Chain A
Amino acid sequence: MSQIETLGAEQTHSQRESRLDVEKIRKEFPILRQRPHGKPLVYLDNAATTQKPQSVIDAVASYYSEANSNIHRGVHYLSEKATNIYESARKRAQRFVNAPDSREIIFVRGTTEAINLVCSSYGGTHIGEGDEVIISHMEHHSNIVPWQMLCQRTGAILRVIPINEEGELRMDEFAKLLGPRTKFVSVVHVSNSLGTINPVKQIVEMAHAQGVPVLVDGAQSTPHMKIDVQDLGCDFYTCSGHKVFGPTGIGFLYGKSEHLDVMPPYHGGGDMIKYVSFDKTVYNELPYKFEAGTPNISGVAGLAAAFDFIDDIGHAAIEAHELELLRYGAEKIGAIDGLRLIGTAQHKASVISFVMDDIHSHDIGTFVDHEGVAIRVGHHCTQPVMQHFGVPATSRASFAFYNTRSEIDTLINALHKVIDIFRG
């Protein structure tokens, strides 16, 4: 009896902790006041990019109005101020994914550039003819094409982990693919088109047992869940700022220093050198070796503000809220006549992809847009996933912590309007 009571008390306590004040949070996002086609904006395209809170917008603006200067080179007041903003953001990013050392955080434009950096610098020196690189069937094009290009250049071979009908990785097949020729594994943590959360910790363990390093594409995981790269054990991890409520054109690559130290620079230029003469150049140390040229300083300032914003809300609250939206949405949307959910993995982030037998995604997208609802329609830069499910495109609703149940209802009403017109 007393045990039951304690349990009950614990539940309310954790519920209270994870309760998130959505209306208050929404006020922080000025764009949510937009009224497309005269209707309140219902923004359900968060997997493509997320909206920005006022604090991020302010951080970018105040960098330009109060600190703008070049970094790492001036001795003057502003240059020190700007360098400070930039380098403390690196420490902020380090904390965000619990990296052991801030030298292991390289600022890049986003996940695409992070993968290209690793592919060309690590891949270019460690992967050769006959070697194998393993990716999965659910990768974003940005984790396919760079590896294909590397394979074309070097004669290496690309291997692909298949997925099942739910849109989950076939781990048994992965075990079979891992072999003496495997030199690298690069997989997505959360699929942008299916929502599947992959067992990356297990993937890393299996790969490491064979001495193979692993890159994890974190573009879609970082907005939704707490990431601890030391716990995952991965060698590289990527983050796109614009998907975590930060600015576009900025993100970071985490890499273990044991790799980054021996990898050659990716781009040559200023900032990445210690000493240059026409005879020889001595490269700078980490992380500067990989940050040639004047970086996106205002973006970095905004990115740090975004991490503050997320951590202020707290991952527990975010995950609980999004899980509820996912359950509610999957049940309600899944119940629509003639609609098929694409991606029904057991472990999922708040992404719902679907197709209708008789109504193409583009038509759905145009109709719901007229009700103020923004969803993504198309192949979501994952054409192999579309081929697997035998569909040319899907409609995708993806939720962030500022979304609500009533917004999902608005989407569903809009879907019924499309159906009435097309099946009417």
Chain B
Amino acid sequence: MTDLQELYQQVILDHNKSPRNFGALENAASAEGFNPLCGDSIKLYLVVNDGMVEDLRFEGSGCAISKASASIMTTLVKGKSVSEAQKMFDVFHNLVTEGADAGNDSVELGKMAVFEGVREFPARVKCASLAWHTLHNALLGKESVASTE
């Protein structure tokens, strides 16, 4: 596989075409993320109860990488506890900046593994992490808009 095919794996193209958990959620808390470099934005809707992420949806505009990342993130995080979600954020962050071997051995990468190719494209790391940064800030209870800058 070339770098490029590794970046744009079929799973990513699929999620880009038909993103899961896409659209607004009423009566939910929301958080926004913005990538000033390219103008991409994302809005997350979350329902957190008793330390559990009960529901999670997103909307916004972005490239295939950022859209697929948001889509896959919602499927991974929905139904997990807040602390599990934060752990996943760390794993993802490591994966796209350091690679799969770096400190992630104890964790199951699962669906996240399709983003492994991203680290070969420094200009695209921010696209892949926008949704995760937004979630991370929302779970920490930060009010401000997340930014990947």
Contacts and interface: CB of A to CB of B under 8 A. Distances in A.
Interface of A: 359-363, 366-367, 370, 377-379, 383, 386, 392-393, 421-422
Contacts of A370: 2-4
A422 B4 CA distance: 13
A392 B4 contact: no
B127 interface: yes
Contacts of A366: 4, 7, 121, 123-124
A392 B123 CA distance: 17
14 contacts: A360-B63, A362-B62, A362-B124, A362-B127, A366-B4, A370-B2, A378-B38, A379-B38, A392-B38, A392-B41, A392-B61, A393-B39, A393-B40, A422-B13
B37 interface: yes
A421 B8 contact: yes
A366 B13 CA distance: 14
B64 A367 contact: no
Contacts of A379: 38-39
Given A362-B38, A378-B38, A392-B41, A367 B4 contact: yes
A45 to B, nearest CB: 13
Nearest to A424: B13
What are the 8 A-B residue pairs with the smallest beta carbon separation, nearest first?
A362-B63, A360-B63, A379-B39, A392-B39, A392-B61, A378-B38, A363-B64, A363-B63
B65 interface: yes
Nearest to B127: A362
Contacts, number: 51
A128 B39 CA distance: 33
A378 B127 CA distance: 12
Given A360-B61, A378-B39, 9 more contacts: A360-B67, A362-B40, A362-B65, A363-B64, A366-B4, A366-B7, A370-B2, A392-B62, A393-B39
B68 to A, nearest CB: 11
Contact of B64 (A360, A378, A392): A360
A386 B39 contact: yes
Interface in B1-53: 2-4, 7-8, 13, 16, 37-41
Contacts of B66: 362
